[in-house]
Amino acid sequence: MNSPKRNLSFFENVLLNFDNAASYTDHPKGLLEKIKTCNSIYSFHFPIRTQRGYETISGWRVEHSHHKLPVKGGIRYSEHVDEDEVKALASLMTYKCAIVDVPFGGAKGAVKIDPKNYTVHELEQITRRYTSELIKKNFIGPGVDVPAPDYGTGPREMAWIADTYAAFNPGQTDALACVTGKPVTEGGVRGRTEATGRGVFFAIREVCAYGDDMKKLGLTKGLEGKRVIVQGLGNVGYHAAKFCQEGGAIIVGIAEYEGAIYDEKGLDVDRVVKHRKETFSILNYPGATNIPKSSEALERECDILIPAALENQITEENAPRIKAKIIAEGANGPTSAAAEEILLKKNVLIIPDIYCNAGGVTVSYFEWLKNLSHVRFGRMGKRYEQATFDRLLVAVEHATGKSFSENERRAITRGADEIDLVNSGLEETMVSAYNEIREQVKRNTKIPDLRTAAFVEAINKVALAYLELGIFP
């Protein structure tokens, strides 16, 4: 008999996870329906002129929840995107923001193109026209809806969006806060590029820090020595792999669309990236075994699997062959509901996407705050901190007779700069959020897994926001 969870769409998987978690809460049905339903869906089409002639481009912007404003979510450029996917991603953004206590509602946008098929000039046309369509319907603005990069977009596109918005709103002093993920020179924040991957690392490190939890999986405490396979060597996958490697993990496998490589002794992430730039492929990396079919890499021996590509990568078909003890979802929705059912029965610990990849939106929040305050983080306090620490060192030297070298003095007295504060804030956010999720499981022993616990946390926080607004007395 086929499982009812089989062949569900991405959005249906999200709804199923929501309904499952909602059964562990006591909120009224009407409030749960309000939280679950997408508030606004804007679907539109616009023409652009390319080297091949005129083309009509399809775009979307979905605002899932207005329990807090502005809403927040990336813009995806993909030829495979559809409305169902955008609704799913917008929904996840609502829950993600709630889990990490970022005061945004969830949203998501998409343009149905393959960026590789367009020139830079054409991509700029598409991005600026997409932005103008959002402006027409009030689907973008510092206090309304704040996009960010996603699959197929980056700082360049965000700079175009910010410039277009400013052109339509001359004199608006907070115009730069209409979008995050911008280049640092255009109002971006240091640390945003690597934020999602760094957040994945913090999540994995925190999960592995609990010896009792690791013992249940047959693993030792800590990240040191754990074998990791990463799917996707884009922004998220690369940084997650790099930080895990620096944290003592062994990257034994890397998968990309052209294939995968595996080496039990470990792969040097930066050298793999260099090899790919030189040969246009990760295959044939010295000392590694080629795996022609990328998906097969997910089934190789490892302790931690990081799917950091696209959704629906771990399915009912391949889940029985997954050997990882921990799956850290760097991508959105990489594990189907039917696959998760199989994995949980195998005692696999899944770090859910709505927590695991929340580093991006967390640092986007920091960028938004920076744009509204018009002050770089660390600018006002760095020198004061440095002088204070220096006075303390002088006092220690006088009291103990010990003298510090110049290198020691610089290391001890250095005040926090923007990147230090951003990374510290991200670490605190990821650590605190995981402990809230873990505590939810400990308080309610009926909750079976971390994903359900994360959804329960999100539902409770969004419900409280609506109740405080007086919408549901």
Residue 214 lies in a domain: no
Q: Which domain holds residue 104?
A: 40-186
User: Is residue 161 included in any domain, yes or no?
Assistant: yes
Q: Report the pLDDT value the prediction gives residue 1, as an integer from 0 to 100.
A: 39
> pLDDT band at 8, cuts 50/70/90?
confident
438, with CB counted inside 10 A (0-12, 13-18, 19+), is middle
Is 72 a catalytic site residue?
no
pLDDT confidence tier of residue 468, bands split at 50, 70 and 90:
confident
Model confidence at 6: pLDDT above 50? yes
Residue 215 φ/ψ, nearest 5 degrees? -60, -35
Angle subtended at Cα 448 by Cα 447 and Cα 452, rounded to the nearest 5 degrees: 70
Q: What does the alpha-carbon distance between residue 351 and residue 345 come to, in Å, rounded to a whole number?
A: 15
Counted domains in the chain: 1
pLDDT for residue 4 is more than 70: no
Distance CA 102, CA 136 (A): 27
pLDDT for 330 beyond 50 = yes
Digit-coded pLDDT (tens) for 197-214: 999 999 999 999 999 999
Other C-beta atoms closer than 10 Å to the C-beta of 199 total 30
Q: Please report the pLDDT score of residue 5 as a whole number.
A: 63
Confirm whether 49 is domain-assigned: yes
Rounded to the nearest 5 degrees, what angle is found at the Cα of 100, between the Cα atoms of 452 and 207?
60
Helix (H), strand (E) counts: the chain? 16, 12
Element (DSSP H or E) covering residue 231 = strand 227-231
Of the candidates 65, 179, 61, the one whose C-alpha atom is nearest the C-alpha of residue 110 is 61
* Sign of the CA dihedral with 54 first, then 141, 67, and 443 last: positive
Q: In this structure, are residues 75 and 110 in contact, taking their beta carbons and an 8 Å threshold?
A: yes
Predicted local confidence at residue 370, as pLDDT? 96
Residue range 333-356: mean pLDDT, rounded: 94
Nearest to 57 by CA among 138, 123, 11, 135: 123
The pLDDT of residue 331 is above 50: yes
pLDDT digits (tens, 9 = 90+) for 107-141: 999 999 999 999 999 999 999 999 999 999 999 99
In this predicted model, what pLDDT tens digit does every residue of 139-173 receive, in sequence order?
999 999 999 999 999 999 999 999 999 999 999 99
The single residue of 108, 226, 325, 461 carrying the catalytic annotation is 108
Is residue 292 domain-resident? no
In a domain, residue 102? The reply is: yes
Residue 189 has pLDDT above 60, yes or no: yes
Q: Are 143 and 137 in contact (CB under 8 A)?
A: no
Q: Are 154 and 348 in contact (CB under 8 A)?
A: no
CB atoms within 10 A of CB 133: 18
Q: Tokens in use for 31?
A: 């409030």
Rounded CA-CA distance 453/23 in Å is 11
Query: What per-residue confidence (pLDDT) applies to 472?
Result: 64
Domain for residue 383, yes or no?
Answer: no
Distance in angstroms (rounded) separating the CA atoms of residues 452 and 390: 48
- Report the CATH number at residue 44: 3.40.50.10860
Residue in the structure block whose two tokens are 């402990």: 435
Q: Is residue 364 part of a domain?
A: no
Half-sphere exposure of 176 (CA within 13 A, CB side): 21
Examine the pLDDT at 278 and tell me if it is beyond 60. yes
**Which range, of 15-19, 101-105, 236-240, 463-467, averages the lowest pLDDT?**
463-467
Mean predicted lDDT score pLDDT of the chain: 93
Each residue of 34-82: pLDDT tens digit? 999 999 999 999 999 998 999 999 999 999 999 999 999 999 999 999 9
Residue found by looking up tokens 């470990």 in the block:
266
pLDDT for 65: 96
Domain membership of residue 302 (yes or no) is no
- Alpha helices, H only, 232-380: 235-246, 269-279, 337-345, 353-356, 359-373
CB contact at 8 A, 165 and 187: no
